[in-house]
Amino acid sequence: MYRIHAGTDGALNLEGEIDASCSEEAGSRLLAAATQTDPCVDLTNLRFADVAAIRAIAAAVHLIALRAGSIELRGASPTFRKTWELLQLDRAAAARMN
Amino acid sequence: MLSQIPVTNGDSRFVHEALLYSGIDDFVVRVGAFVADSIEANEPILVAVSNLKRELLCEALGEVPDFVQFADMAELGRNPGRIIPAWRRFADENVARGTRFRGVGEPIWPERTADELIECVRHESLLNLAFEGSPAWWLICPYDIKLLSPTVVEEAFRTHPSVLDGDSRSTSASYQGLAAIDAPFDVPLAEPVGNVTTMIIDRLEQLEALRRMVDMHSTRFGVDRSRTADLTLAVNEVATNSLRYAGGPSTIRTWNSHTAIVFEVSDDGRIDDALIGRRIPSVDRESGFGLWLVHQLCDLVQVRTYETGTVVRLQMTRA
C-alpha cells in the first residue's frame, strides 16, 4: 500500500497510500528511516494520506527535526498541503514545506 | 442618514438576534446603523455578508476604522458548517483583548438550495449553543423579508431568541431553546433521485476500494482533480470514523443531482455531540479532526442521528 525508500538524491521517498489501516506504522517507519543529517522527505508519489497519516507524518518529522536540526518536506499534493495547514501542522511541526 | 436600531444596554451575555429588513436599501440603512453604532462604541465588528452588500455598506458608511472587518459570506458560508469556527476565531481574538465586539452574519439568501437552507437554519440554531455562556457579544443576522419565503422567516423566529423588526425588538415566542437544539438532529433527508451506487464496507482494509469508487464517480460527474482529491479524503474520513466508532458495517451510497455529487455514509452508531465538526481542534488533541476537516473540504455536510443510526452526507459541486 505504501513504501519508504531512499532516492538517488538522498531524499526519503514516501510513496503510495496511507490510511487508518497503516498510519501509525508509517509514522514509526519514517522516523526510523530518517537517519541522515539535513533530511528531506519527498511526497511526490504519495497518492493519498488521511488525517491520521498526515498527523503521524507530522509527529515523525517533528521528532526528526529535533534530532537533525531541520527537515524538508517536498512534493506534497494540494490536498496534503491544505490539510497540513488546516490542522495547523505548519505551526506545530518544525518542517520546511517546499 | 442611518436609522437607529435598539441597543442592548450593555447585556452581559451573548446576544443573537434576527434583523428583518425589506430589500437592499433597507438593508443598508439598518445594518449600516448597527455598524455605525459599533464604530461609535469602539467595538470591533466582523460583517459577513455578500460582496455586493459589503460595497453598499462601505459606500454608506464612508471611511471605516481597521477594527471593522468584512468577510464574503458566499465563500465563508458556502458550507454553513464553516461559519461557527469563523465566529469562534473572531470571538477568541477579541475576548483575549478584553473588548466587547459585534458581528453581522447573513448566511441565508434566496438562491440557497433546499438542502443548504436546512443546514443554514441548523447553523443559526447551533450558534446559540456554541456561544452559550461565552463573554458578551452581539450578533445580528439579517433576513430579507422581501425576497425570502415566509417559511424561512418563520425559522428565524425559531432560531433566534429575539428579533429586531422595524424600530422594535421582541422576544421570540417560538424560539426553540437550547435543549431542543442540543437534541439529536433528525430532520429527514430527501431520498436520492436517479441512479444510486452502493458499497458496504466493514474493515479498514476496504477503504482503498472506497477511494477508487469516490474518485471514479467524482471524476465522471465533472469535479476537477483537486476537488476530487478533497472529496476523496472527506469520504475516507467519514467512513473511517464510521468503522472506528460504530464498528461497521458502513453503507456508502452515491448519486448526483444537477449541481452536486453526493456521498452518504450510514451506520447504526450515534452522534450525540450537536457541535461535532464545528469546533476548531487544537493541535495537541488526539481526535476531533475528522468531521471538522470534512466541513472545510466539502461544499455541504449534512449530519443526522436517527433512532436507527447516523447518516452523514457530503456534497461537492463541479466548481
* Contact between chains at A82 and B230 (C-beta distance less than 8 A): yes
Number of A/B CB contacts below 8 angstroms equals: 52
* Contact between chains at A77 and B229 (C-beta distance less than 8 A): yes
Q: Quick one: closest CA in A to B204, which residue?
A: A21
The CA distances from residue B141 to B30, B41, B116, B271, in Å, are: 12, 20, 17, 28
* Nearest CB to A79 within list B205, B208, B230: B230
Which of A25, A50, A62, A91 is most worth mutating to test chain B (most B CB atoms within 10 A of its CB)? A50
Q: What is the pLDDT of residues A39-61, one digit of tens each?
A: 899 999 999 999 999 999 999 99
**Which of chain A's residues have a Cβ under 8 Å away from the Cβ of B227?**
none
CA distance A57 to chain B (A): 14
Q: What is the pLDDT of residues B125-165, one digit of tens each?
A: 999 999 999 999 999 999 999 999 999 999 999 999 999 99
A55 near B CB under 8 A: yes
CA separation for the pair B239, B163 (Å, rounded): 40
CA distance A88 to chain B (A): 7
CA distance A22 to chain B (A): 9
pLDDT, residue B145, reads: 97
Radius of gyration of chain A (CA): 12
B281 near A CB under 8 A: yes
* Nearest CB to B226 within list A1, A55, A78: A78
Q: Is the pLDDT of residue B275 over 60?
A: yes
Neighbouring residues of A27: CB distance < 8 A, sequence distance ≥ 6: A53, A56, A57, A59, A60
Joined grid coordinates for residue B71: 468577510
* Contact between chains at B204 and A55 (C-beta distance less than 8 A): no
* Contact between chains at A48 and B233 (C-beta distance less than 8 A): yes
pLDDT, residue B1, reads: 38
Element (H, E) at A5: strand A2-6
Q: Is the pLDDT of residue B248 over 70?
A: yes
Question: For chain B, what percent of residues have pLDDT higher than 70?
Answer: 97
CA distance B147 to chain A (A): 36
pLDDT, residue B4, reads: 53
Q: What is the pLDDT of residues B218-244, one digit of tens each?
A: 999 999 999 999 999 999 999 999 999
Question: With bands split at pLDDT 50, 70 and 90, how would you rate the model's confidence at B11?
Answer: low
Q: From the centroid of its chain, how far is CA B315?
A: 14
Q: Quick one: closest CA in B to A58, which residue?
A: B283
Across the range B64-72, mean pLDDT stands at 97
Residues of chain A short of pLDDT 50, as ranges, are: none
A82 near B CB under 8 A: yes
B114 near A CB under 8 A: no
**Which of chain A's residues have a Cβ under 8 Å away from the Cβ of B283?**
87-89, 91-92
CA distance B165 to chain A (A): 39
* Contact between chains at B240 and A19 (C-beta distance less than 8 A): yes
pLDDT, residue B2, reads: 44
Q: Quick one: closest CA in A to B210, which residue?
A: A19
pLDDT, residue B5, reads: 55
Phi and psi at B69, nearest 5°, equal -110, 150
Strands (E), chain B: 15-21, 45-49, 68-72, 102-105, 138-144, 162-165, 168-171, 197-201, 250-256, 260-267, 300-306, 309-317
**Which of chain B's residues have a Cβ under 8 Å away from the Cβ of A48?**
211, 232-233, 236
* Nearest CB to B204 within list A20, A82, A91: A20
A83 near B CB under 8 A: yes
CA distance B275 to chain A (A): 18
Element (H, E) at B75: helix B73-76
Q: Is the pLDDT of residue B170 over 50?
A: yes
pLDDT, residue B139, reads: 97
**Which of chain A's residues have a Cβ under 8 Å away from the Cβ of B207?**
19-21
The CA distances from residue B58 to B1, B51, B70, B106, B219, in Å, are: 14, 10, 10, 16, 41
pLDDT, residue B12, reads: 74
Q: Is the pLDDT of residue B6 over 70?
A: no
Average pLDDT, chain B: 94
* Contact between chains at B293 and A91 (C-beta distance less than 8 A): no
Element (H, E) at B150: helix B150-159
Joined grid coordinates for residue A11: 531524499
